[in-house]
Amino acid sequence: MDLSDKHIVLGLSGGIACYKSADLCRALVKLGATVQVVMTAAAGQFITPVTMQALSGRTVYGSQWDPREHNNMPHINLAREADAILIAPCSADFMVKLAQGGADDLLSLMCLARPMARVPLLLAPAMNREMWAHPATQRNLRQLQLDGATILGVGHGDQACGETGDGRMLEPTELALDMVAFFQPKCMLGRHVLVTAGPTYEAIDPVRGITNLSSGKMGYAVARAAREAGAQVTLVSGPVALDAPRGVTRISVRSAREMHTATLAQAPSADFFIATAAVADWRVANSAEHKIKKDGSGQMPQLQFAENPDILADVAQSERARSGALFCVGFAAESQDLLANAQAKRQRKGVPLLVGNIGPATFGQDDNALLLVTADGVEEFPRDSKLALARRLIMRSAELALSLESTGASHA
Ligand code: CTP
């Protein structure tokens, strides 16, 4: 559970989005966090403390005069226990209060009294689109960022008032994912990570094609982990049944040649290229424009094949990759002799890191086991969830890239 050792103070200020805070509280608890709810009086107009108490399993705080605290200082005690304070919803009015250092109720008082170096403050604004776009709100937002708050952004869509635009509170699942990401180490901050994922599909005719069993789960986990680590992530994906990870730019492609074109267009701005896609080595050279019909002869039509471009090898041979400016990671899905195949493949593709896994044992599964092969040796990542492995791989790739940069060593 991604938040299992975290204690989060969930603050609610007044807004209709308070109804979503119940789900958010539940989502954070499900991820393992302990959640202490603090509500303003205005929030109490939209949702009751009883609901929030039942979902968090803790009595809710609302007053700075709460007699439950032996020293009568809930603003000090609550802020010091927290690993993070998340205000969701954060109303326009509460943003004003925070920006000005106001402290006339428990929630604002607690935010002002938080130890800034140790307890981060995250805000999920929620308001009408005109209020959100107003220069005063945007000014307060900038001030809050300057003061060290993390703004989680707003959603776009239908609003409770009947208007449509920016200003909705992000959905509880999105905010929960943002909290998980927030606590991950930022080992790729500001880097551009390019990932290929999933299978490719090579058409035989307009209704049939050749593909493989890759589900894309490992590549999508890598993209998510890179994003969590602070990178800007571009995911070039073959056809899969997965949602794009939060905050990741997805480019959907079908064939190996489409994947090749999309990837090579992104590579010049990338710092890391992680090729997890199961790319078809061959395409049908004589694919038909119209559906191939049986001709009554009992003979299967003869398919001819042409070799597809090798995306990883092409990127790895680029000037930037050879100079170490672009760190390339290959994957090898093998069915046997993992170590020997992975070592040979690393040399053949000319990449500093090749990650081996047993394809049939992992396709479609939520877990995997990895073997990392570099010029210096071999490292095993034992069986774990694909997300946990992806996070370790991202961390390891960042370390290896850094050591290559500092030694200026040739990678392959
Ligand atoms: N790859 C690629 N483009 C291709 C084929 C493979 O980018 N046309 C990448 C994969 O994404 C993976 C690595 O190369 O990172 C190894 O893929 P794999 O299919 O295991 O290797 P092949 O080069 O196809 O070798 P073989 O089929 O002989 O095992």
| pLDDT 10s digits, 50-97 | 999 999 999 999 999 999 988 999 999 999 999 999 999 999 999 999
Q: pLDDT-derived band of residue 300, with 50, 70 and 90 as boundaries?
A: confident
Closest residue CA from atom 17 of ligand 1: 332
List the chain domain ranges: 7-182, 192-289+300-407
Q: What gap in Å lies between CA 152 and CA 208, rounded to an integer?
A: 44
Q: Where are the beta strands (DSSP E) in 40-131?
A: 84-90, 121-125
For residue 386, report the distance from its CA to the centre of ligand 1, in Å: 20
The answer to whether residue 398 scores a pLDDT higher than 90 is: yes
DSSP string, 264-322: HHHGGG-SEEEE--B--SEEETT--SSPPPP-SS-PPPPP-EEEPP-HHHHHHTSHHHH
Name residues contacting ligand 1 (CB within 6 A).
196, 256, 275, 277, 279, 281, 308, 310-312, 330-333, 345, 349
Q: What gap in Å lies between CA 2 and CA 221, rounded to an integer?
A: 14
Query: Is CATH 3.40.50.1950 what the domain over 7-182 is classified as, yes or no?
Result: yes
For residue 245, report the distance from its CA to the centre of ligand 1, in Å: 24
Q: Provide the pLDDT for residue 408.
A: 64
Using DSSP's 3-state secondary structure scheme, residue 168 falls into: strand
Structure tokens that stand for 284 in this block: 């049908």
> Tens of pLDDT along 325-339?
999 999 998 888 999
Range from 41-50, 82-91, 111-120, 360-369 carrying the lowest mean pLDDT: 360-369
* Mean pLDDT value of segment 156-164: 92
CB 150, CB 176: distance < 8 Å: no
Closest residue CA from atom 16 of ligand 1: 332
Q: pLDDT-derived band of residue 187, with 50, 70 and 90 as boundaries?
A: very high
The answer to whether residue 301 scores a pLDDT higher than 90 is: no
> Tens of pLDDT along 213-253?
999 999 999 999 999 999 999 999 999 999 999 999 999 99
Q: Provide the pLDDT for residue 257.
A: 98
| Same fold? 7-182, 192-289+300-407 | yes
> Tens of pLDDT along 250-272?
999 999 999 999 999 999 999 99
Task: Provide the 8-state DSSP code for 45.
Answer: G
Q: What does the mean pLDDT of the chain come to? A: 95
Task: Provide the 8-state DSSP code for 103.
Answer: -
Q: Provide the pLDDT for residue 232.
A: 98
For residue 279, report the distance from its CA to the centre of ligand 1, in Å: 6
What is the architecture, at CATH level 2, of domain 192-289+300-407? 3-Layer(aba) Sandwich (3.40)
Residues 66-94 as b or e (16 or more Cβ within 10 Å = b): beeeeeebbbbbbbeebbbbbbbbbbbbb
The answer to whether residue 410 scores a pLDDT higher than 60 is: no
Of ligand 1's listed atoms, the one at least distance from the Cα of 256 is 8
Residues contacting residue 24 through CB under 8 Å, at least 6 positions apart? 10, 88, 172, 175, 176
The pTM for the full model equals: 0.94
Distance of alpha carbon 22 from the chain centroid:
23
Active-site residues, by number, are 161
Q: Helices 135-146 and 92-100: crossing angle, nearest 10°?
A: 50
Q: Of 192, 259, 197, 267, which Cα lies nearest the Cα of 232? A: 192
